[in-house]
Amino acid sequence: MRLTPPIPTLALFALLAALPTLHARDVTEFLPAGFVRDGSVSYQHEIQRAIDAAAQSGQSLVFPAMTYAASEQGWQLRSNLVLNLHGAVFQLPANCESDGAVFRGHDVTEAKLAGGEILGQNDQWQDGVNVRGIHITGSSRRIRIADMTFRNLSSNAVGIFGNENHLIRDVWLENLIVENCCKRYPDYLSEEKPEPNSQREDQGDVALYYVEDFLVRGCRFERSRSDGTHFYRCRQGQILANRIYRAKMGGYFLETCENVVGIGNLMIENGSRGTTIERGSKNCVFTGNVVSGSGREGLWAPDCVGLVVTANTFRNNGRKPNGPELHHIWNANITINEAKHDPSNSPTRDYLVSNNLLDTTADQIAAVRVVATADTRSIVIRHNLLLGENQKIVIEGPKPSAVQAEGNGDLLQ
């Protein structure tokens, strides 16, 4: 009996790797004969038919490398959809007049987008026109977005918005490049006015609201016209090894989040606070990050419960002067307090701030400033290396006994 020889291991791997391409469709199959590749003609309806057909058949959809004319009306994502966009460029026109997104999904499950570039023209659009790259809403889950580039949009590159009744679950954003996106939002202490007709959801190169079980990893968010990131009422998340540079406002922003870790991120030269963790955030960890050159604090952390801040570098923050009337309110390297008008009505409790390097300038009120009120409890500030021109830890408020500060200072002296 003749036996079939075994397939060599490497050949088997190559065969398995090729299997997805055997089940892929090419978007150009749906375009008319003689289609152009320079983005001068819109194939809005043809591309939507291709997306619908691929989702219905379970095939991935390949966009060959060329320029596609996009619009703010966008293409509707479907469940069970894989878009291979490597090499594709989606160009929005200079005359966008309404809010929208290039890709939109509502109540989608198993949607994956990889590769490609989405280009806006926010310098040409009227104020208050808010155009996103990708917009996901509803009861969506298992969303994967990777290896994409977004430039010059007037809202988020990626905005994923659940609600209090339906959290969006299992979202991974990896290796994204985002440049010069979001609404225009000035420093809150300046006299410049925010861009009209825009909502808070338009802030943040990446904005996640009511998202559970998420990962944001290996991205570069640069020159945001508002915040670099904004995570609101999210939980069970990892924010890892991202670079957040030169945002007009803050860099890393957690608001009312729970069980979120931020590790190994770089927040460099952001216009307001490098890092904000606030409004009832619970059980969050911030470790191994570098926060440098922020306009205000390196870290502002009011109204949290169970916050761990360890092994970070905070250097040369507080670049912006606050004026004499505000100098004793803001602008330590780290500020821990209870904010006015906090909608979460959360106490400030159970903080561990340890083993950080804090290099503080003379323009700042302190390396660490804590304002302890009646609801403040168990704030531990221990074994931090204090460098620079201001090495003070300032404890204010009616309950200083809630703060334990020990073993901090320039350990080389």
Residue 18: inside a domain? no
Q: How far apart are the C-alpha atoms of 314 and 379, rounded to whole Å?
A: 19
Residue 6: inside a domain? no
Q: Which residues pair with 171 in a beta bridge?
A: 143, 214
| φ and ψ of 140, to 5 deg | -90, 160
- CATH assignment of the domain containing 188: 2.160.20.10
Q: What per-residue confidence (pLDDT) applies to 326?
A: 53
Q: What per-residue confidence (pLDDT) applies to 8?
A: 52
Residue 304: inside a domain? yes
Residue 100: inside a domain? yes
Number of domains, the chain:
1
Residue 173: inside a domain? yes
Q: Which amino acid is at 80?
A: N
Q: Which residues are CB-contacts of 310 (< 8 A; sequence separation ≥ 6)? A: 285, 286, 287, 352, 353, 354, 355, 356
Token reading at 40: 């001068």
Residue 17: inside a domain? no
What residue numbers bound the domain in which 359 lies? 25-406
Terminal Cα-to-Cα distance of the chain (whole angstroms):
84
pLDDT tens for each residue of the chain, 413 residues long? 444 455 454 454 344 344 444 479 999 999 999 999 999 999 999 999 999 999 999 999 999 999 999 999 999 999 999 999 999 999 999 999 999 999 999 999 999 999 999 999 999 999 999 999 999 999 999 999 999 999 999 999 999 999 999 999 999 999 999 999 998 877 666 677 778 888 899 999 999 999 999 999 999 999 999 999 999 999 999 999 999 999 999 999 999 999 999 999 999 999 999 999 999 999 999 999 999 999 999 999 999 999 999 999 999 998 887 655 554 446 899 999 999 889 999 999 999 999 999 999 988 899 999 999 999 999 999 999 999 999 999 999 999 999 999 999 865 44
Token reading at 63: 């966009």
Q: What is the dihedral of CA 293, 295, 299, 302, to 10 degrees?
A: 180
Q: What per-residue confidence (pLDDT) applies to 192?
A: 75
Q: What per-residue confidence (pLDDT) applies to 1?
A: 45
Token reading at 186: 């000035």
- Dmax over CA atoms of the chain, in Å, equals 94
Q: How far apart are the C-alpha atoms of 253 and 251, rounded to whole Å?
A: 6
Residue 205: inside a domain? yes
Residue 278: inside a domain? yes
* CA nearest neighbour of 313 among 359, 269, 279: 359
Element (H, E) at 13: helix 9-22
Q: What is the dihedral of CA 151, 154, 160, 163, to 10 degrees?
A: 170
